[in-house]
Structure 1
């Protein structure tokens, strides 16, 4: 097989498109992640963790399903508003935010994930169908079936991590949500900013950055499990 040495064919920046130089993509992913372009169904790898998090059990679920499964308090495959509220409280949010955000989550994602067409007043979110709730204006790390794309996860940091390579500041998170905006997608704009803003509040480090590991843990839900364990002693008191 011939190797293409054409600089245009393999270029990741274009002189007439300055944004491509401002938001760089990583070109060394294959040095650590086997087939980084291959979307993973059950693991969430990155350059530092090419196999994902082996200690985090997938239980046969897609990465997107794992993201939501933490909030399924009784493991019946359905997340009700009171379960979302309890999960948000467990990971460190206050009562008011947990009430508003929990209700908002179920209102937004209940109908798209229902197995039928008749709405339910209980606002259940069905984990089996959570891929139907994927919204535009996100990072593209989840594909439309709920798989995890390592290349898109890594590109969040190559494009927007200008201060520290493997962390994002609040300003950089804002820039990321702005860069991912899809035209006329008001709901997606709002959801993306609220979601990452909430994660920043509970997972930022002492220097005010959101680490790559914390963000990876958002995608497979392991961050929620770790925060719940960390906060458990506080709840007991």
Structure 2
């Protein structure tokens, strides 16, 4: 499991202007987010690649397996419109916006683009203890508020995504910080965590 200090380590290494430049509102940043899990860069994400991606950022075996099963079963069909279902459950990265579920924050629009006003709304509405971070209770309040009636799939999807993010990336005070959340939307957080974990393993075996 990734240590809670990763959130703070990430912020220390982030240049605000460069991070904002990766979040251009006319870019399908949702594709970049999903592309991290395309381990062989062929445009498809298979369950074993989702598992490998979770492991690369420090998730445990159980979370990685659960994530692979849930994500690929949920998104394979919707991202492969008009194609015969595959028992390998691949996800097509280029169509990832088609798998966008309901009951979410709205930070990605229907085309997979980043919506700054919706991102800011997360903190203006729910960050009561700290202006630029969410506690566990505040995160749960946001998820509850975002629920659409009878959208059970969306409820589960949102809860799974945010709980995994909180578990992996909360800081030592149990806070999920603004820049950490922003970075996960464009995939740069995943890349950072993978580098950190690889460096830690190399140091341990040196």
The TM tier, using the shorter chain, reads 0.7 to 0.9
Aligned to 2:87: 121
C-alpha change, 1:209 and 1:82, in structure 2 (3 Å) is: same
Distance in 2 between the 1:127 and 1:233 partners?
A: 28
How many Å separate the matches in 2 of 1:57 and 1:83? 25
| Partner of residue 160, structure 1 | 126
Q: What is the aligned partner in structure 2 of residue 98 from structure 1?
A: 64
Partners of 2:116 and 2:16 lie apart in 1 by 11
CA RMSD of superposed structures (Å) = 2.0
Whole-Å separation in 1 of the counterparts to 2:184 and 2:23: 14
Distance 2:110 2:144 in 1: 21
Deviations 1:71-115 (A, max 9, x none): 010111110111100000010111121112112110100000014
Matched residue, 1:86: 52
Where structure 1 has 5 or more consecutive residues not aligned to the other structure, the ranges are 1-47
Is the helix fraction higher in 1 or 2?
2
Residue 177 of structure 2 is aligned to residue 211 of structure 1:
yes
Give, in whole Å, the separation in 2 of the partners of 1:227 and 1:156: 23
Q: TM-score, normalised by structure 1?
A: 0.75
Deviation of 1:57 after TM superposition, in Å, equals 9.8
Q: CA deviation at 1:191?
A: 0.9
Structure with the larger RCO, 1 or 2 (CA within 8 Å, 6+ apart): 2
Moved over 6 A (4+): none
Q: Which structure has the bigger radius of gyration? A: 1
Q: Does structure 1 residue 186 correspond to structure 2 residue 121?
A: no
Pairwise mapping of residues 8-157 of structure 1 onto structure 2 (< 5 A)?
A: 49=16, 52-54=19-21, 62-157=28-123
Number of residue pairs aligned between Structure 1 and Structure 2: 188
Matched, 1:200 2:166: yes
Structure 2 SS opposite 1:104: helix
Contiguous gaps of at least 5 residues in structure 2: 1-14
Matched residues in 2 for 1:189 and 1:76: separation?
A: 31
Cα deviation per residue 1:109-149 (whole Å; 9 max; x = unaligned)? 00000143310011100001111100010000100010110
TM-score by length of 2: 0.86
